[in-house]
Chain A
């Protein structure tokens, strides 16, 4: 009888693990940061500047007839707008140091050889940069808390705003780290990160701050209009309902979680070796995020209050989703032709199932996944929005709006298949990912702008019926907008089949894209076969070389003597 096996020790929880066995990289970076003499001075200067600014605004407003509540509201907006900018600029800059400084300082190889997994390195670097930026926020907290003393905003709203500031800080740090993991020069990493942060940060501030505040004010009057920091206020001032759940819980969660997950997977992929599995994480992210993003793109249309707004928001959602899909097509241009020998050996050892292998590296299956899921989700948005217009629509132009959404989605889907096929095909020609991306971008620019140049020249030369020349723009994806405006206009000319040409072009793009995907798959399979044959031949040669020599025949008389 077997003795009972001793009970397994309980798995320590997250907090216990953090306390007993904290991430080694995080701890080391904290020790280094603690010895950096300039940090307290930078924090002091920042707090002093912002404190003085807030006091000046408060003092000036108090001198006028403004009510304390208005002053409190204004201070809240000013403080959190500045804090947002600080976080958006400082967070990525701090994180950009992470991996690039190790690579430049030639300490990276030593870390890599310790056997630390890329995810442990990424987490350690993230925690280190996040601790620094969190320190900035904490130091600024007393200044930010000044606003609710005046009224106009509640203490809860200030706390919620700080929570969002911490979440945004997490995203910016993850972004800086992802860029840093891609680069080997520290200066390069900081410059690229800051340039992108300066470009993207204010754009997001205006879209999701100023821009969205008008729509939210329309929905809930209590939320002030044209105030960029509206989200923390909307939680206490919005009315509970479907819109509340969608706009204040689901969408913010998605907007934060999806890029955070992507940046995490991208960092891990960048930190992994070329022969490692760098695809599974990103493909898993694409698989789960794409339907959620598609739904999020359809949400604004769902909460619109008239048919035209619903159609416009539907097209805006489709356009946003198309941009997302184009980004993904370019992202997966980094895929190798097939899984490396290392990946395949490890799959064999762990008896990996079909699903694991499908999500693993390989250009053909990745291309197929991106094309199929992207195509399906475009139609998910389109049919969802068309259904909403059909069900809730009341205007006379309802059918026309449905047509517009349909043809816009048709062109989007067809052209997306072409983009996916083109990037995969270019990559399969053994070009490096960045060359393939550059060539694809150049070709797409030509396809998008070229036809309009020809159409414009033709229109000028023809003088009469200049508009007819616009059908030459059919190969360009912007033709979808022309189709919509043509459908929307009250006149229609039978002699210019604008929509039919657009639909035909969309189908052509789609079929061309599928053909390119097929060609890419064929090339990739061939490359994998050739590589396998070369490896097998080399292995056979090595085995033959290593085989022990045939034993020399033992002389008969020697055996007899023995």
Chain B
């Protein structure tokens, strides 16, 4: 059998079912369309970042996914269950942590988790809550088990909430701004915990408008702006697609001519000659270079290099090099500097990939 035949068979083979499936989701509050035809898939075992400015519709999408809001149109499936038809089944497979959620203050950590274990009807042996112990261990709350929730810090409460969502061993975790209002240490701890949960096979869907929070952990992202999905997929794929789009700009659509002028037959009314297509342009990026040499020396070494647009002073004695190209170009820059006897001690993109994608695909509009 040839490669083509195998490919043809592979095309009809059933694709793995996504853990979350959102199709043509619309929602409206009053006269405002907060979600407009949003569609995306989240595959099992992914950490999926849902990005968008405040008011973009992230929380509305999440509330629909968590069965707390009825979608006006469209379909959302979690682990194969339709949120509109089978909300109870969906609730069994998701762990949802809302943004700025409250906790019961006058109970201890253990009592709090035991209450939710009872509510989830997690099997217990008599009064022994093995699950509670395991979850406290996982979320590093064991030392605080007898502490009153009211006396805990915001970060600890957030961790308690995360522990609560894990009690019934859900397949999918839906976290709305899990690290908002947390200090840097708590953020790092939450991030590490998410990575650990992913390694346990959980699918994690988390929203945020803080890109650095997501960049390190997410495998895929979706960007929402004014209720519309701008882009979605694995970060590397999106970056590649964007670059391809910049290098080969799409053909301009035929201009909308409108109705023919009075007295002219439609057949006579034709489009004017399209403008010539712009020349292919490689995407430009910035890279920050820290070298043990004055900025002038770096400039002198790089100024004649192909693809370098500019070299300018950066923060803390670094220089910012604007270039056209990909990672190979960065390697060439470093090589050039080393060959010019300039010791390079640090190379980092001025913006990480996710920030770059976000800035390129959004227009900064809010509704």
CA distance A249 to B205 in the complex (A): 59
Of chain B, the residue at the smallest CB distance from A546 is B23
Known: A109-B98, A534-B73. 6 other contacts (CB 8 A): A114-B119, A538-B75, A542-B24, A551-B11, A554-B5, A558-B5
A14 within 8 A of B: no
Task: Assess whether A115 is in contact with B106, with CB atoms less than 8 Å apart.
Answer: no
A17 within 8 A of B: no
Task: Assess whether A345 is in contact with B115, with CB atoms less than 8 Å apart.
Answer: no
Task: Assess whether B115 is in contact with A27, with CB atoms less than 8 Å apart.
Answer: yes
The segment from A30-38, A168-176, A522-530 that touches chain B is A30-38
User: What residues of chain B lie closer than 8 Å to A49, measured between beta carbons?
Assistant: none
- Residue of B2, B11, B94, B148 near A113 (CB, 8 A) is B94
28 contacts between A and B (CB under 8 A): A24-B115, A31-B106, A105-B102, A107-B102, A110-B96, A110-B98, A110-B101, A110-B116, A112-B68, A114-B119, A114-B168, A115-B91, A273-B67, A274-B70, A342-B84, A342-B85, A534-B73, A538-B24, A538-B75, A542-B23, A542-B75, A549-B11, A552-B4, A552-B7, A554-B4, A558-B5, A559-B1, A562-B1
Q: How far is the CB of A430 from chain B (nearest CB, A)?
A: 14
User: What residues of chain B lie closer than 8 Å to A27, measured between beta carbons?
Assistant: 115, 118
A106 within 8 A of B: yes
User: What residues of chain B lie closer than 8 Å to A534, measured between beta carbons?
Assistant: 73
CA distance A275 to B111 in the complex (A): 33
Task: Assess whether A561 is in contact with B2, with CB atoms less than 8 Å apart.
Answer: yes
B100 within 8 A of A: yes
User: What residues of chain B lie closer than 8 Å to A107, measured between beta carbons?
Assistant: 101-104
Known: A24-B119, A114-B91, A561-B2. A273 touches B102 (CB 8 A): no
CA distance A553 to B2 in the complex (A): 13
User: What residues of chain B lie closer than 8 Å to A110, measured between beta carbons?
Assistant: 96, 98, 101, 116, 161, 164
CA distance A542 to B74 in the complex (A): 9
B310 within 8 A of A: no
B1-58 residues with Cβ-Cβ distance < 8 A to A are 1-2, 4-5, 7-9, 11-12, 14, 23-24
Of chain B, the residue at the smallest CB distance from A20 is B126
Known: A542-B24, A555-B2. A114 touches B116 (CB 8 A): yes
Q: How far is the CB of B6 from chain A (nearest CB, A)?
A: 9
User: What residues of chain B lie closer than 8 Å to A541, measured between beta carbons?
Assistant: 24
Task: Assess whether B4 is in contact with A275, with CB atoms less than 8 Å apart.
Answer: no
A505-562 residues with Cβ-Cβ distance < 8 A to B are 534, 538, 541-542, 545, 548-549, 551-555, 558-559, 561-562
Q: How far is the CB of A216 from chain B (nearest CB, A)?
A: 47
Residue in B12, B85, B98, B100 with the greatest tally of chain A CB atoms within 10 Å: B85
Task: Assess whether A554 is in contact with B106, with CB atoms less than 8 Å apart.
Answer: no
User: What residues of chain B lie closer than 8 Å to A548, measured between beta carbons?
Assistant: 11-12, 14
A397 within 8 A of B: no
B74-88 residues with Cβ-Cβ distance < 8 A to A are 74-75, 84-85, 87-88
B107 within 8 A of A: yes
User: What residues of chain B lie closer than 8 Å to A24, measured between beta carbons?
Assistant: 115, 118-119
CA distance A553 to B23 in the complex (A): 30
Q: How far is the CB of B58 from chain A (nearest CB, A)?
A: 16
Of chain A, the residue at the smallest CB distance from B121 is A115
Task: Assess whether A558 is in contact with B2, with CB atoms less than 8 Å apart.
Answer: yes
A399 within 8 A of B: no
Task: Assess whether B96 is in contact with A106, with CB atoms less than 8 Å apart.
Answer: no
B92 within 8 A of A: yes
User: What residues of chain A lie closer than 8 Å to B12, measured between beta carbons?
Assistant: 548-549, 551
Task: Assess whether A28 is in contact with B96, with CB atoms less than 8 Å apart.
Answer: no
Q: How far is the CB of A187 from chain B (nearest CB, A)?
A: 16
Q: How far is the CB of B59 from chain A (nearest CB, A)?
A: 12
CA distance A109 to B59 in the complex (A): 13
CA distance A559 to B67 in the complex (A): 50
B269 within 8 A of A: no
Contact with B along A282-314 (1 / 0, CB 8 A): 000000000000000000000000000000000
Contact with A along B324-360 (1 / 0, CB 8 A): 0000000000000000000000000000000000000
Of chain A, the residue at the smallest CB distance from B96 is A113
CA distance A111 to B119 in the complex (A): 8
User: What residues of chain A lie closer than 8 Å to B107, measured between beta carbons?
Assistant: 28, 31-32, 35
Of chain A, the residue at the smallest CB distance from B87 is A273
Of chain B, the residue at the smallest CB distance from A275 is B70
A341 within 8 A of B: yes
CA distance A106 to B101 in the complex (A): 5
Closest 9 A/B residue pairs (Cβ): A562-B1, A24-B118, A114-B119, A558-B2, A106-B102, A105-B102, A28-B115, A32-B106, A552-B8
Known: A110-B116, A115-B120, A562-B1. A36 touches B164 (CB 8 A): no
User: What residues of chain A lie closer than 8 Å to B206, measured between beta carbons?
Assistant: none
B289 within 8 A of A: no
Task: Assess whether B70 is in contact with A273, with CB atoms less than 8 Å apart.
Answer: yes
Q: How far is the CB of A107 from chain B (nearest CB, A)?
A: 5
B66 within 8 A of A: yes
Residue in B11, B100, B148 with the greatest tally of chain A CB atoms within 10 Å: B11
A116 within 8 A of B: yes
B109-128 residues with Cβ-Cβ distance < 8 A to A are 111, 115-116, 118-121
Contact with A along B157-193 (1 / 0, CB 8 A): 0000100100010000000000000000000000000
Q: How far is the CB of B191 from chain A (nearest CB, A)?
A: 22
Of chain A, the residue at the smallest CB distance from B73 is A538
Task: Assess whether A561 is in contact with B1, with CB atoms less than 8 Å apart.
Answer: yes
User: What residues of chain B lie closer than 8 Å to A114, measured between beta carbons?
Assistant: 91, 116, 119-120, 168
Task: Assess whether B111 is in contact with A28, with CB atoms less than 8 Å apart.
Answer: yes
Task: Assess whether B66 is in contact with A32, with CB atoms less than 8 Å apart.
Answer: no
CA distance A112 to B74 in the complex (A): 23
Task: Assess whether A341 is in contact with B84, with CB atoms less than 8 Å apart.
Answer: yes
- Residue of A274, A341, A555 near B5 (CB, 8 A) is A555
CA distance A130 to B8 in the complex (A): 68
Task: Assess whether A538 is in contact with B9, with CB atoms less than 8 Å apart.
Answer: no
CA distance A275 to B88 in the complex (A): 12
User: What residues of chain A lie closer than 8 Å to B66, measured between beta carbons?
Assistant: 109, 113
Task: Assess whether A538 is in contact with B84, with CB atoms less than 8 Å apart.
Answer: no
Known: A275-B84, A551-B9. A32 touches B68 (CB 8 A): no
CA distance A275 to B71 in the complex (A): 11
Task: Assess whether A32 is in contact with B67, with CB atoms less than 8 Å apart.
Answer: no
User: What residues of chain B lie closer than 8 Å to A36, measured between beta carbons?
Assistant: 106
Q: How far is the CB of B64 from chain A (nearest CB, A)?
A: 12
Q: How far is the CB of B131 from chain A (nearest CB, A)?
A: 13
Q: How far is the CB of A558 from chain B (nearest CB, A)?
A: 4
CA distance A315 to B88 in the complex (A): 49
Task: Assess whether B85 is in contact with A341, with CB atoms less than 8 Å apart.
Answer: yes
User: What residues of chain A lie closer than 8 Å to B121, measured between beta carbons?
Assistant: 115
User: What residues of chain A lie closer than 8 Å to B118, measured between beta carbons?
Assistant: 24, 27
User: What residues of chain B lie closer than 8 Å to A116, measured between beta carbons?
Assistant: 119
CA distance A349 to B290 in the complex (A): 67
- Residue of B73, B84, B88, B103 near A115 (CB, 8 A) is B88
User: What residues of chain A lie closer than 8 Å to B101, measured between beta carbons?
Assistant: 106-107, 109-110
CA distance A45 to B291 in the complex (A): 76
CA distance A548 to B161 in the complex (A): 40
User: What residues of chain B lie closer than 8 Å to A274, measured between beta carbons?
Assistant: 70
Task: Assess whether B85 is in contact with A115, with CB atoms less than 8 Å apart.
Answer: no
Q: How far is the CB of A104 from chain B (nearest CB, A)?
A: 8
User: What residues of chain A lie closer than 8 Å to B96, measured between beta carbons?
Assistant: 109-110, 113
Task: Assess whether A35 is in contact with B106, with CB atoms less than 8 Å apart.
Answer: yes
CA distance A551 to B14 in the complex (A): 12
Q: How far is the CB of B35 from chain A (nearest CB, A)?
A: 15
Contact with A along B252-284 (1 / 0, CB 8 A): 000000000000000000000000000000000
CA distance A124 to B91 in the complex (A): 20
User: What residues of chain A lie closer than 8 Å to B14, measured between beta carbons?
Assistant: 548
Residue in A552, A553, A555, A561 with the greatest tally of chain B CB atoms within 10 Å: A552
CA distance A375 to B328 in the complex (A): 86
Task: Assess whether A562 is in contact with B2, with CB atoms less than 8 Å apart.
Answer: yes
Of chain A, the residue at the smallest CB distance from B90 is A113
Q: How far is the CB of B269 from chain A (nearest CB, A)?
A: 34
Of chain A, the residue at the smallest CB distance from B170 is A113
Q: How far is the CB of B124 from chain A (nearest CB, A)?
A: 10
